[in-house]
Amino acid sequence: MKTIVIIGATSALAQSIAKIHAAEQHRLLLVGRNEPRLDLIAQDLSVRGAKQCEVYCLDLADTDKHGPLWEHVYQKFPKPDIVYIAHGVLPDQQVCQGSYQQTLASLQVNALSVISLLTELANRMETDKHGQIVVISSVAGDRGRKSNYVYGTAKATISTFLQGLRNRLYDSNVSVTTVKPGFIDTPMTADFEKGALWATPDQVASDIVKGVGKNRNVIYTPPIWFFIMAIIKAIPELLFKRLSL
Ligand SMILES: NC(=O)c1ccc[n+]([C@@H]2O[C@H](COP(=O)([O-])OP(=O)(O)OC[C@H]3O[C@@H](n4cnc5c(N)ncnc54)[C@H](OP(=O)(O)O)[C@@H]3O)[C@@H](O)[C@H]2O)c1
């Protein structure tokens, strides 16, 4: 039986991940800002088989509250086996272009809050020489595009941070997995037109849990996104800047 912490546990993707781990009868600690929803999700996961399911409520953008969060987590689950970080927002690119404050607010949630969480978590896992860190980044961080470069900047920031962390923690037996999903049909993308490349949260969660089981460094999900992004990254900047993507 594993102890698993899921941060951003009300996200559609996190819920799909949690369902898989509940069926495996692990112990879960769900972290998010919406207590009634967390309670409902916890009840559902208990019915699905979770050995224990606790919740902890905070606004993750408030980094002053991250210290007490880790105190609580490590008191409940002294050596967590897996910690997922899944919270995020999709900012309006046009609004951000007109407002540094809006850009900063989205970077605060998508990048800085994640870095704050990882700073203390990494130190604790490094001391314990135990644990797996799994963070949901995005293919959007692989190359800046005019349609979503503020969101992409945050995801690129955490992908690079995780790369360095993985290198640092390798000698401490702590694995770090960067997840790069493509399009997923979740509340975050409710207003988008869906096409052939769209995946369900359950499909993506299945790829993630399998990849985490193999200690993968980077997971593109669905896997076709590895090839799509390889092509997109290979386009010379001289041409790329002229494209409408
Ligand atoms: N959907 C996609 O196409 C896609 C693609 C690539 C990567 N991703 C990434 O996948 C992850 C999960 O997103 P999703 O698609 O499952 O969307 P989602 O269902 O909208 O989940 C986003 C979650 O982030 C939480 N959140 C946002 N700001 C927060 C804050 N300040 N404090 C606490 N919680 C906060 C939301 O909490 P509330 O429920 O309280 O609002 C919500 O649970 C995100 O990191 C996203 O960037 C998504």
Question: Contact 6/13 with Cβ under 8 angstroms?
Answer: no
Ligand 1 neighbour 67 (Cβ under 6 A): no
Q: Where does 39-170 show beta strands of DSSP type E? A: 52-57, 82-85, 132-136
Task: List, in order, residues 6 or more apart from 46 with CB less than 8 Å away.
Answer: 22, 53
Ligand 1 neighbour 189 (Cβ under 6 A): yes
For the chain, residues with pLDDT lower than 70 are none
Q: Residue 192 corresponds to which tokens in the numbers above? A: 């988008």
Q: What is the pLDDT of residue 245?
A: 84
Q: Which atom of ligand 1 is nearest to the CA of 198?
A: 3
Give CA–CA dist 33/56, Å, rounded.
Answer: 8
Look at ligand 1, atom 39, and give the residue with the nearest C-alpha. 10
Question: Contact 111/67 with Cβ under 8 angstroms?
Answer: no
Domain layout of the chain by residue ranges: 3-240
Q: Which atom of ligand 1 is nearest to the CA of 15?
A: 16
Q: Which atom of ligand 1 is nearest to the CA of 37?
A: 39
Q: What is the pLDDT of residue 125?
A: 98
According to CATH, the superfamily of the domain at 3-240 is NAD(P)-binding Rossmann-like Domain (3.40.50.720)
